[in-house]
Amino acid sequence: MDLKYIGHSAFEIKTNNKTILVDPFVSVNPKYNWHDYEINDIFVTHAHADHLGAAIEISKEKNAPVTAVVELAQYFEKQGCRANGINFGAWLKYEWGNALFYPAFHTSSLPDGGYGGMAASIIFDIENVRIFHAGDTCLTGEMKTIKELYAPEIALLPIGGHYTMDVEHAAVAAKWLGAKTVIPMHYNTFPNIQADLEKFTRLVCSDNRNVAVLNPNEI
Ligand code: ZN
């Protein structure tokens, strides 16, 4: 399993023979030329433009289904995409592993202003690794439940503040989730989500966890 940070909250996960995109706001990284890749599945945590990104374009070009909460999946279908409308709390089975949507504490409106369903976090179970993609969320006690039920090893956490957790709350989230490795996301993309990465690293590491800062330029 290979996890690549495209930028913002966008990740590419490569398994043995499949490629998955999460929150494909790929325009943040001109180096990521998705036209060259085979992409098999797309996941979108919520409808905001910086998460939806190029999901429609990519889904159509690659004939890759988009998995999202039903209201958002219906929007993708209306745009001519293949979509897999789901809801919270059940493991969804894929050829490459499993995924489970869990509520995030955040809003979600469609590009046309319509209701985008509830915002989600997603837990992936891929080649015996549990990855938690928080989507956009504030700190919530649900993270303790996620630890108890799903025990993610890797947590992808927003740290930019303003719209989501900031570095201090994200460090608490890392602890509550019990993740050994934390990958920061959703920071420094816009002026109002600048984050003190050094402080985040210090807070998380003082609690015996690792921070892996992935550089989108190394893609
Ligand atoms: Zn958002």
Q: What is the CA(17)–ligand 1 centre distance, in A?
A: 30
Q: What is the CA(52)–ligand 1 centre distance, in A?
A: 9
Q: What digits encode the pLDDT tens for the residues 107-155?
A: 999 999 999 999 999 999 999 999 999 999 999 999 999 999 999 999 9
- The candidate with the shortest Cα–Cα distance to 218, out of 49, 12, 1, is 12
Start-to-end Cα distance in the chain: 15
Q: What is the CA(195)–ligand 1 centre distance, in A?
A: 17
Q: What is the CA(163)–ligand 1 centre distance, in A?
A: 7
CA–CA gap between residue 147 and residue 152 (Å, rounded): 7
Q: What is the CA(165)–ligand 1 centre distance, in A?
A: 12
Q: Which two tokens stand for residue 180?
A: 């050994």
| Inter-residue contact 8 to 185 (CB < 8 Å) | yes
CA–CA gap between residue 93 and residue 53 (Å, rounded): 24
| Fold exhibited by the domain 2-218 | Metallo-beta-lactamase; Chain A (3.60.15)
Query: Rounded to the nearest 5°, which phi and psi values hold at 137?
Result: -160, 160
Q: What is the CA(189)–ligand 1 centre distance, in A?
A: 13
Q: What is the CA(121)–ligand 1 centre distance, in A?
A: 11
For the sheet with 19-22, list strands across it. 2-7, 10-14, 19-22, 41-43, 66-69, 83-86
Q: What is the CA(106)–ligand 1 centre distance, in A?
A: 7
| Inter-residue contact 133 to 173 (CB < 8 Å) | no
Residue ranges of the chain with pLDDT lower than 70? none
CA–CA gap between residue 131 and residue 27 (Å, rounded): 24
Q: Which DSSP state fits 107?
A: -
Residue 219: predicted pLDDT: 72
CA–CA gap between residue 150 and residue 167 (Å, rounded): 23
CA–CA gap between residue 44 and residue 123 (Å, rounded): 12
CA–CA gap between residue 219 and residue 215 (Å, rounded): 7
Q: What is the CA(150)–ligand 1 centre distance, in A?
A: 24
Domains of the chain, by residue range, sit at 2-218
Percent residues over pLDDT 90 in the chain: 96
Q: What is the CA(162)–ligand 1 centre distance, in A?
A: 11
Q: What is the CA(149)–ligand 1 centre distance, in A?
A: 25
Q: What is the CA(78)–ligand 1 centre distance, in A?
A: 21
Q: What is the CA(110)–ligand 1 centre distance, in A?
A: 11
Q: Is the dihedral of CA 27, 185, 9, 190 positive or negative?
A: negative
Strands (E) across 8-147 are located at 10-14, 19-22, 41-43, 66-69, 83-86, 92-94, 97-103, 120-126, 129-133
Residues with CB in 5 Å of ion ligand 1: 48, 136
Q: What is the CA(179)–ligand 1 centre distance, in A?
A: 23
Helix (H, G, I), strand (E, B) or coil at 35: helix
Give pTM, 2 decimals.
0.97
Q: What is the CA(127)–ligand 1 centre distance, in A?
A: 29
